[in-house]
Structure 1
Amino acid sequence: MSSIEPTAISRARTPDLISGYRLEKLVGTGGMGEVHKATQLSLGRTVAVKLLNSELAKDPSFIARFQKEAAALATLSHPHVVAIVDKGKTDSTYYLVMEFVDGPSLRELMRTPQQETQVLLRRMLEICRAIEYAHGRGVIHRDLKPENILLDQQAGGIAKVSDFGLASFLDDSTVASRYALTSTHVSMGTISYMAPEQRVDAKSADARADIFSLGVILYETFTGEVPLGTFDPPSRKRSGLDPRVDAIVMRCLKPDPDDRYQTVGALIAELEPLVPGSLLSMPPMRLTRLQRAKRTAKGVVRVAAQTAATLLVVSAVGVLGFEYYRSGQVRERQGPPGAAILAEHKNANTNRTAPGRREDVLPNKQRVLVGEGPDQLAMPLAGRPAVFENKAIVFPPLDLPLFPNEEEKRDLTRVGRVRADVVGFVGGVARLTARVRAEAPPPTLKRRLQEWLKGPPPDPVVAMMLVGRDGRYVALVHHGAGAPLALEWALGERSGTMLGQPSPQGEARLELFVTEEGVLQAFIGQGADQRPIAEPLNLGPDWQGQFGEPPTPAVGCIEGTCSIEGLTYAVDRPAPVAETPSSPVVAATQRTVAAAVPTKAVVPKRAPPPPPPKRQPVKAAPAKSTKRR
């Protein structure tokens, strides 16, 4: 399975021992837990075991949703749907046992070099047939996206639909009523692939919502982009694509469900004629003597070509093996970006200053802006170099040696970070914003040679973070190559990652916002175009204590070229409370201030006022009315 899976909130722990199964290794995270590759001891076969997160296993609603996925899978038996094997409960959690699909997800396949159009059409037809079957059994998926479609390599790369955790049932059967988890006017799913009506009210969305998601996947399969706002037909972005695909995609993406295909069968009826006839079964034809001679000659040529290719591969392996021996390096898989950025570096905490502005906006609000202003802000650097130019923090392209010596190997780092040394920013509400960009370095002959010898470098990553003590952090991660935006956190025993929509090309405005109750949300965009990234993360009222100390803002870069502009951090502190006589003017002022609070912010709770000073009693003095501010 893919290491990039739907969102999860997981606590680090050793896997539970499940009777009859041996857990081999963690292969990914699902919507509500972890997925392990395992062995079914009774048959000795490989299976996938999905464990519900132990924290969520205490919540009856999540238990019901987990069992709902099992109920949905149990009703389905189709070559293009991941099959369920078993389900059960341990002392601490619940588990599902499913068919193990040995292959990448459709998301991973989208990042490979351009594939043949006919192969992509056949794959989409397989996905459509799986959804048509599910609808026929009364199941709506409601979370179709490339991460939930796996390609079985051992079965010839056929598509299999997985993750029915948000599925709903079309009829009013016992199963449907037992697992009716979605409330009216609640949106569920992944925003970029959700139908408009599903974003407003998931409960009322019917099978046509899946047809909208299929249209998004179809468009992204051929163009590499998600159709947002105004977009070109796919045939304009992919040369050689049949223009008939444009009409199919556009009809799937109609905002009004009544204007879309009313059934997946109707969609298949228009998509099937575009699949080449060579993919269908045909009876064998008798060959003439001349045709048999031509086939023999072609076989001889093919064997000779394969022999030459084998010799070429052996030679290339020898060259690469020699290079591996010379370099003495092993390219390790990158861990979580936030952890890599906070790792210790040789030049950790190099003291630098940058222009900026530190100010008190309101009596109870502090703000710091990096990049412009009269103040000189302390900005410790670590890892790869960074510069301050044109009001932005910039990590220039890396210039790594082709064959580094031992000293250069010790000094090489592809990761850098800059931390704003903000002291005294303590409060109940916090907001961190910036405009970020992550790009691959421009191609040069040296970089092409490095890529040929050592493989392509990892995708460029830029992150905006709140950093505490002992490696505690929350990071909003932007992948320059189009991988999903991610909200990542490591707060002691609590750690995890939630994925959002694909990272946009070019500049993106990101925001981390924490309410006084400790609910952390991540956003992309601004104003009317602002959209949430993943689900809110509840840190609790003592959310700053989760960091071990009041957190400070930081930014980081991995690979490529990164720029961070307009980095702003603001904290609202509770205002001191004083006893003040009430008056209409004061009351009106209080109402005005309350109305001016942004909708996302939460007004800090007032502390109890100090006791009033003792007064000497005065005869016949009228009692004064007081109003606490």
Structure 2
Amino acid sequence: MTIPRLDPSTVTIGRAMARSRRFEVFEATCGGRAAVAKRVSADSPVRHGPERLLQREYRTLHRFSHAAIPKPYGILDDAQSGAQYLVLERRAGRPLSEVIAAGMLRRGRLGAREWEDSTRDIVLQLGAALAYLHDHGVLHNDIKPANVIVHAAGDRIMVSLIDFEASGPSDAGTPQYAAPERQTDGQQVDERADVFSLGVLVFELLTGMCPYQAVDPDASRAEKRAWPAGGGSTPDRLVPAMHYLDMAQGSSEHKVWPAIRRALDPSPAMRPASIRSFLGELDPALVLPSQSDGPGPLLAVVLVALACAALVLPVHDSVVLRWLLGRTELTLCAPALERLARTVCKGYHAGDPQCETRLRRLAAPVECPNRVQQLQTCLRKR
């Protein structure tokens, strides 16, 4: 396949956006279109034929036509610097890693850190993109929040999967997210390696914490063997995260932790066999068509968001609110919500000293009118 060589007069390289182990990424325009430009960094560990990495990524992306996968435009040879750039479509939005770090998007679609509609929508779109890759015989090999771009499109979150530089057979990905077999020389790797990485990402999306920290391959493998499949106690730093997951299970008919635990098993044979299987274990509603179901974008199966998913609340508040909506007639706005906070916390969360404080935040003057409208909508839908 001949890779297009871009006319330098049609490409503008802008400010630096990001830097990985091997690449530097810049804002760019290409023929008036928003783009990104990637080049091999000067201190990259790749010493021989670094341009092959760019060409390989172009060839990988060129094969695909999927709403969540950016399109490649071509290769730019910069005569002034001698550098070679891969120029790609730039997707609007921000990395999922930034969203997770922020905790929540104010008035956005990513609300409580639990298994709600916004979380389900992100996981479904990402899973659909990965299943599409696997159907075409390609592993991503570096699934992590920094490689997922999310942006609001009306009342929906849209997801893009970026950074295919590690899609080759010899790449190990990012240690904290990589499957143990990917960190072991000579071990066969298949789509279950991406299942592992997606499991790590879902854990982090739900809890705000990555379950693994080690960077050295040997230490990383040992860490993944020890927990959760090893039967050892939960590391101290993950105790709050497991509390959030327990809350997610207690407030949902879907038991997400057993599915995540299986995905994080260090043995590929013990994991779900495919992305489709993992999604089905996470939530029966996350059903993707098989490759034999015919052509068409897999994103057509993305769920319709429910009216109540717009509530941007910490996890405990969401649990109590669902209880309120199901069992209590609400006289809405600040005075009523304060009374309800006292009543509900006394009878429903007596052991939680912060319950009333959290619920009273619902009555903040700036937020209350918006909450009232949302709750009224939810009540009318019941």
**TM-score with structure 2 length normalisation?**
0.58
Deviations 1:208-242 (A, max 9, x none): 10000000111111111222434448632546355
Q: 2:119 is matched with which residue?
A: 120
1:62 to 30, 50, 59: 50
Q: 1:249 is matched with which residue?
A: 260
* Structure 1 Cα separation of the partners of residues 96 and 193 of structure 2: 20
* Structure 2 Cα separation of the partners of residues 203 and 62 of structure 1: 25
Cα distance, 1:82–1:104 mapped onto 2, change above 3 Å = same
Q: 1:75 is matched with which residue?
A: 63
Are 2:191 and 1:207 aligned?
yes
The 3-state SS of whatever aligns with 1:159 is strand
Asked whether the equivalents of residues 22 and 44 of structure 2 are also in contact (C-alpha less than 8 Å), the reply is: yes
Q: 1:27 is matched with which residue?
A: 17
Asked whether the equivalents of residues 216 and 226 of structure 1 are also in contact (C-alpha less than 8 Å), the reply is: yes
Give the C-alpha shift of residue 77 in structure 1.
1.8
1:28 maps to a residue whose letter is A
The 3-state SS of whatever aligns with 2:75 is strand
Q: 2:355 is matched with which residue?
A: none
Give the C-alpha shift of residue 168 in structure 1.
2.7
The 3-state SS of whatever aligns with 2:15 is strand
Q: 1:220 is matched with which residue?
A: 204
Q: 2:96 is matched with which residue?
A: 106
Cα distance, 1:59–1:113 mapped onto 2, change above 3 Å = closer
* Structure 1 Cα separation of the partners of residues 78 and 268 of structure 2: 43
* Structure 1 Cα separation of the partners of residues 46 and 269 of structure 2: 41
Deviations 1:548-602 (A, max 9, x none): xxxxxxxxxxxxxxxxxxxxxxxxxxxxxxxxxxxxxxxxxxxxxxxxxxxxxxx
The 3-state SS of whatever aligns with 2:124 is helix
Q: 1:160 is matched with which residue?
A: 160
Residue correspondence of structure 1 range 333-412 to structure 2 within 5 A? none
> Percent identity, aligned pairs only?
25
Cα distance, 1:57–1:219 mapped onto 2, change above 3 Å = closer
The 3-state SS of whatever aligns with 1:102 is coil
Give the C-alpha shift of residue 23 in structure 1.
2.0
Asked whether the equivalents of residues 260 and 282 of structure 2 are also in contact (C-alpha less than 8 Å), the reply is: no
Asked whether the equivalents of residues 56 and 63 of structure 1 are also in contact (C-alpha less than 8 Å), the reply is: no
Asked whether the equivalents of residues 223 and 237 of structure 1 are also in contact (C-alpha less than 8 Å), the reply is: no
2:245 maps to a residue whose letter is S
The 3-state SS of whatever aligns with 2:284 is helix
The 3-state SS of whatever aligns with 2:8 is coil
Cα distance, 1:134–1:212 mapped onto 2, change above 3 Å = same
Asked whether the equivalents of residues 126 and 160 of structure 2 are also in contact (C-alpha less than 8 Å), the reply is: yes
What is the count of residue pairs matched by the alignment? 249
Cα distance, 1:214–1:22 mapped onto 2, change above 3 Å = same
The 3-state SS of whatever aligns with 1:144 is coil
Give the C-alpha shift of residue 105 in structure 1.
0.4
Asked whether the equivalents of residues 251 and 259 of structure 1 are also in contact (C-alpha less than 8 Å), the reply is: yes
Calculate the aligned-residue CA RMSD, in Å: 3.1
Deviations 1:58-96 (A, max 9, x none): 932433223222222122221112222222433312211
Cα distance, 1:58–1:234 mapped onto 2, change above 3 Å = closer
1:279 to 303, 312, 320: 303
* Structure 2 Cα separation of the partners of residues 203 and 165 of structure 1: 20
* Structure 2 Cα separation of the partners of residues 195 and 202 of structure 1: 14
Residue correspondence of structure 1 range 228-267 to structure 2 within 5 A? 228=212, 229=227, 230-231=233-234, 232=242, 235-236=245-246, 238=248, 240-267=251-278
Are 2:179 and 1:195 aligned?
yes
* Structure 2 Cα separation of the partners of residues 278 and 197 of structure 1: 31
Give the C-alpha shift of residue 247 in structure 1.
1.9
1:72 maps to a residue whose letter is T
Asked whether the equivalents of residues 129 and 161 of structure 2 are also in contact (C-alpha less than 8 Å), the reply is: yes
Q: 2:139 is matched with which residue?
A: 140
Q: 1:85 is matched with which residue?
A: 73
* Structure 1 Cα separation of the partners of residues 205 and 132 of structure 2: 22
1:158 maps to a residue whose letter is M
Are 2:27 and 1:37 aligned?
yes
* Structure 2 Cα separation of the partners of residues 57 and 219 of structure 1: 31
Asked whether the equivalents of residues 149 and 162 of structure 2 are also in contact (C-alpha less than 8 Å), the reply is: yes
Cα distance, 1:55–1:213 mapped onto 2, change above 3 Å = closer
* Structure 2 Cα separation of the partners of residues 152 and 97 of structure 1: 21
* Structure 1 Cα separation of the partners of residues 72 and 44 of structure 2: 21
Unaligned runs of 5+ in 2: 1-6, 105-110, 213-226, 228-232, 235-241, 288-300, 307-382
Greater helix content: 2
* Structure 2 Cα separation of the partners of residues 233 and 68 of structure 1: 43
* Structure 2 Cα separation of the partners of residues 241 and 202 of structure 1: 41
Deviations 1:373-405 (A, max 9, x none): xxxxxxxxxxxxxxxxxxxxxxxxxxxxxxxxx
1:141 maps to a residue whose letter is H
Cα distance, 1:128–1:278 mapped onto 2, change above 3 Å = closer
Give the C-alpha shift of residue 151 in structure 1.
1.1
2:272 maps to a residue whose letter is Y
Cα distance, 1:202–1:107 mapped onto 2, change above 3 Å = farther
* Structure 2 Cα separation of the partners of residues 268 and 278 of structure 1: 12
* Structure 1 Cα separation of the partners of residues 95 and 153 of structure 2: 14
Asked whether the equivalents of residues 279 and 286 of structure 2 are also in contact (C-alpha less than 8 Å), the reply is: no
Give the C-alpha shift of residue 141 in structure 1.
1.0
Give the C-alpha shift of residue 121 in structure 1.
1.3
* Structure 1 Cα separation of the partners of residues 187 and 59 of structure 2: 18
1:104 maps to a residue whose letter is R
Which of 1 and 2 has higher RCO (CA within 8 Å, sep 6+)? 2
Cα distance, 1:56–1:190 mapped onto 2, change above 3 Å = closer
Unaligned runs of 5+ in 1: 1-16, 170-181, 283-629
* Structure 1 Cα separation of the partners of residues 139 and 244 of structure 2: 27
Residue correspondence of structure 1 range 501-520 to structure 2 within 5 A? none
Greater strand content: 1
1:255 maps to a residue whose letter is P
Asked whether the equivalents of residues 118 and 275 of structure 1 are also in contact (C-alpha less than 8 Å), the reply is: no
Asked whether the equivalents of residues 125 and 272 of structure 1 are also in contact (C-alpha less than 8 Å), the reply is: no
